[in-house]
């Protein structure tokens, strides 16, 4: 910029100082581009657009049109700096989301309280886990009892009550009480750290795209330089008019310098990333967004991705008792607990005007279940596995459209409460919308072991396939199974999704407050828990591809026309540089349309 201003001021005022000022910074700029080209050749063994910038700057010196060379160098550096600056800003915002996961863990070691990084935790150390925080180690509970949210690990949406003697896994969250957990593994051997290592390995295996575009650029740059030399030889050396040859060579390199080509992708990426960032969608560079626009397969986790992970009572079936009486007994048992399922039952009963009685002699049962005495009757609530283990017969002719919480009264099944995970309002018909945007298939993949609940969600969202009971390695295998059928996108929110997110061509996490590993392994982070954010990103990705193609078409067409005019002498170096900048401005203006990301409704 200083070089351009110096030459312009000299042309306007005639003061020699400005010429020297422009020349000094011109030389500095030329040295910077030369160094950049040298570093690229050494690191990648490929020429870059820096070669054309250097060529036009050198030729401009001999042709005494240094202003043209300075304009070319300034414009391309400014445009790239702005676009990459926006991308880097977004990357920093994503990285900031995971900084909280690096805080130290409070442990008890040899009767001393210490705060250490999780990597320094040894087997036998006792970690103190406050209510609402993530369990940092794999181990055994030695103090306290709490409802444990394992959804980010297993995908199961409903918490599990655990007490002294039960095992817990790092990454789970203690919901209702403080726990003391004795580590049975070193901190760096726990589930979270093993997953982190797998993620890093998977990210390194991601394929490099744009190789074809890079190859085109290589041929284009080398071809333009050779053509410009040929123009000089034909119009200058052979014709005996060196000055004309230099002028035409400078004009060819000035007009053909691939500024518009070079700006086509980064400015489109920057505009799209900036527009999505304003909508709470953070993207790690433009390549994932472009791949998203071409995606053939979408694999969506269930809990926290298309559902809220919040249980809701949708039906009550009573066998031999009035529903009101059954609900009162169930609410009485659950009234002494702060548990999501219990809270859902209490809320449903209260909405029906039913209030609990006093429960006595409460006893925890294996698995998910409790047993209490309510007004002289023994009332048991639990899963089918729990009830069968207690010798109760589960009715075979009852269709459960969700997760069943069976109710036993005096050791006989008296009814069932049907629990469903609350769907995101925006997720209804989501798969159909994605197919309308070009997806070939949309797949539900969940760690939820309840087939009926998984099938219900798959039907409401319009999925092509439904896979349930998947462990992390199962989701990875599912992602890889679609590898040869076009780009695959994995959308999830838990630690159990993290490795699959890293393996997929594009990994998308929904909810910025989710597990750190999920965010770190994702290419795109959607801060809002809203399935329509996925639709917004896909539409932007498809528009991005169209804009890039338009930019390339314009850049190629303009360069070919400009080279022809410059060869015949119809463009002077100064006019060639001016036309070149007009081409670049049009490319940038076309890319700027991507900043306006539309608000997407449910349809």
Using CA atoms, how far apart are residues 536 and 293, in angstroms rounded to an integer?
11
Beta-ladder partners of 371: 363, 380
Report which of 551, 499, 573 is spatially closest to residue 68, judged by C-alpha positions. 573
Residue 55 in contact with residue 225, Cβ under 8 Å? yes
Q: What is the per-residue pLDDT for 337?
A: 72
Tell me the three state secondary structure of residue 150: coil
Three-state SS string across 94-147, please?
HHHCCHHHHCCEEEEECCEEEEECHHHCCCCCEEEECCCCECCCCEEEEECCEE
| CA distances from residue 238 to 63, 232, 241, 244, 245 in whole angstroms, order as listed | 17, 9, 8, 11, 9
Residue found under tokens 């750190």 = 516
pLDDT score recorded for residue 209: 38
Q: Where are the beta strands (DSSP E) in 224-306?
A: 281-283, 297-300
CA dist 524 and 93 (Å) reads: 12
- Structure-token match 């979270």, residue found: 192
Looking at residue 321, its pLDDT comes to 86
Per-residue tokens: 119: 């990597």
Residue with tokens 């207690």: 390
Whether the pTM exceeds 0.85: the reply is no
Apex CA 403: angle with CA 398 and CA 404, to 5°? 50
| Annotated catalytic residue within 50, 138, 149, 301 | 301
Mean pLDDT in order along the chain per 10 residues (603 residues): 89 90 92 88 76 78 78 70 62 54 77 84 89 86 86 63 86 85 84 59 44 62 80 73 76 70 76 79 80 93 81 86 89 79 87 87 71 88 83 81 84 88 84 93 86 85 90 89 90 78 87 58 77 89 91 84 82 68 78 73 45
- Report the alpha-carbon distance of residue 211 to residue 217 in Å, rounded: 10
- Asked if 18 contacts 6 with a C-beta cutoff of 8 angstroms, the reply is yes
The tally of CA atoms less than 13 A away on the side-chain side of residue 101 is: 22
pLDDT value of residue 217: 63
Cβ atoms within 10 Å of 197's Cβ, excluding its own: 11
Has 448 been annotated as catalytic?
A: no
pLDDT number for residue 462: 92
Burial of 556 (0-12, 13-18, 19+ CB in 10 A): middle
Residue 487, SS3? coil
Which position has the token pair 């078409």?
Answer: 553
CA dist 50 and 48 (Å) reads 5
CB 19 within 8 A of CB 7: yes
Sort 450 into a burial class: Cβ within 10 Å, 0-12 / 13-18 / 19+. buried
SS3 414: strand
Q: Please name the residues in contact with 554: beta carbons below 8 A apart, sequence gap of 6 or more.
A: 260, 583, 586, 587, 590
| Gap between the Cα atoms of 53 and 233, Å rounded | 20
User: How far apart are the C-alpha atoms of 462 and 529, rounded to whole Å?
Assistant: 19
Give, for 508, the enclosing helix (H) or strand (E).
strand 506-510
Q: What is the predicted pLDDT for the residue at 101? A: 47
The helix/strand/coil state of 320 is coil
Site of tokens 């390194």:
204
> Cα–Cα–Cα angle for 566, 572, 573, nearest 5°?
90
**List of domains in the chain:** 281-306+424-527 (3.40.50.1000), 309-423 (3.40.1110.10)
- How far apart CA 356 and CA 113 sit, in angstroms, is 43
Q: Give the side-chain half-sphere CA count within 13 A for 499.
A: 21
Pair of tokens at residue 300: 């969506």
pLDDT at 495: 64
Strand-pair partners of 140: 167, 182
Q: Is residue 459 classed exposed, middle or buried when 0-12, 13-18 and 19+ CB atoms within 10 A define those classes?
A: exposed
- Rounded CA-CA distance 376/374 in Å is 5
List of residues 6+ apart from 432 with CB closer than 8 A: 462
Alpha-carbon span 598 to 603, nearest angstrom: 13
Q: Point out which residues pair with 418 in neighbouring strands.
A: 315, 404
Spatial separation of the C-alpha atoms in residues 266 and 258, rounded to whole Å: 13
Token pair 């048992």: residue: 333
Beta pairing, strands 139-143 & 167-168 = antiparallel
Nearest to 327 by CA among 316, 319, 335: 316
């Amino acid at each position: 910029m200083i070089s351009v201003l110096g030459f312009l001021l000299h042309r306007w005022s005639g003061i020699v100082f400005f010429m020297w000022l422009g020349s000094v910074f011109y030389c500095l700029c030329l040295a910077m581009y030369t160094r950049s080209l040298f570093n690229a050749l050494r690191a990648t063994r490929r020429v870059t657009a820096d070669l054309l910038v250097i060529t036009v700057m050198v030729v401009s010196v001999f042709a005494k049109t240094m202003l043209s060379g300075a304009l070319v160098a300034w414009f391309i550096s400014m445009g790239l700096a702005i676009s990459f600056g926006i991308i880097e800003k977004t990357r920093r915002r994503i990285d900031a989301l995971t900084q909280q996961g690096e805080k130290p863990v409070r442990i008890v070691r040899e009767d001393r309280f210490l705060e250490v990084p999780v990597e320094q935790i040894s087997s036998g150390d006792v970690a103190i886990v406050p209510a609402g925080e993530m369990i940092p180690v794999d181990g055994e509970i030695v103090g306290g009892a709490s409802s444990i949210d394992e959804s980010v690990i297993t995908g199961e949406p409903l918490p599990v009550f655990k007490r002294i003697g039960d095992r817990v896994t790092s990454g789970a969250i203690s919901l209702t009480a403080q726990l003391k957990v004795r580590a049975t593994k070193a901190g760096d051997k726990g589930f979270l750290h093993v997953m982190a290592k797998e993620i890093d390995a998977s990210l390194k295996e991601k394929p490099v795209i744009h190789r074809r575009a890079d190859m085109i650029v290589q041929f284009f740059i080398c071809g333009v330089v050779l053509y410009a030399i040929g123009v000089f030889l034909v119009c200058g050396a052979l014709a005996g008019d060196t000055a004309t040859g230099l002028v035409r060579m400078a004009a060819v390199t000035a007009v053909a310098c691939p500024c518009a080509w070079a700006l086509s992708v980064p400015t489109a990426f920057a505009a799209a990333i900036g527009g999505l960032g304003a909508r709470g969608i953070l993207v790690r560079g433009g390549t994932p967004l472009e791949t998203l626009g071409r995606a053939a397969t979408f694999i969506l986790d269930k809990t926290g991705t298309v559902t809220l992970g919040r249980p809701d009572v949708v039906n009550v079936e009573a066998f031999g008792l009035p529903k009101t009486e059954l609900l009162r007994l169930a609410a009485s048992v659950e009234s002494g607990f702060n548990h999501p399922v219990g809270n859902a039952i209490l809320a449903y009963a209260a909405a029906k005007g039913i209030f609990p009685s006093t429960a006595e002699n409460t006893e925890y049962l294996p698995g998910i279940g409790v047993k209490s005495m309510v007004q002289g009757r023994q009332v048991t609530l639990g899963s089918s596995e729990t009830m069968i283990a207690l010798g109760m017969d589960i009715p075979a002719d009852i269709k459960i459209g969700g997760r069943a919480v069976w109710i036993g009264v005096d050791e006989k099944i008296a009814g069932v409460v049907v629990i469903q995970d609350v769907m995101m309002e925006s997720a209804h018909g989501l798969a159909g919308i994605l197919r309308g945007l070009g997806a070939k298939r949309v797949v539900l993949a969940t760690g939820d072991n309840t087939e009926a609940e998984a099938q219900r969600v798959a039907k409401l969202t319009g999925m092509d396939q439904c896979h349930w009971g998947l462990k992390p390695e199962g989701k990875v295998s599912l992602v890889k199974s679609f590898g040869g059928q076009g780009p695959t996108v994995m959308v999830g929110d838990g630690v159990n999704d993290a490795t699959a997110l890293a393996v997929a061509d594009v990994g998308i996490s929904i909810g910025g407050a989710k597990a750190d590993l999920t965010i770190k392994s994702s290419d795109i982070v959607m801060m809002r828990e809203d399935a329509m954010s996925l639709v917004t990103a896909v539409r932007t990705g498809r528009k991005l591809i169209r804009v890039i193609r338009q930019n390339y078409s314009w850049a190629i067409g303009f360069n070919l026309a400009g080279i022809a005019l410059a060869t015949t002498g119809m463009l002077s170096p100064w006019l060639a540089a001016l036309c070149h900048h007009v081409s670049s401005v049009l490319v940038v203006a076309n890319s700027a349309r991507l900043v306006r990301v539309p608000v997407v409704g449910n349809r």
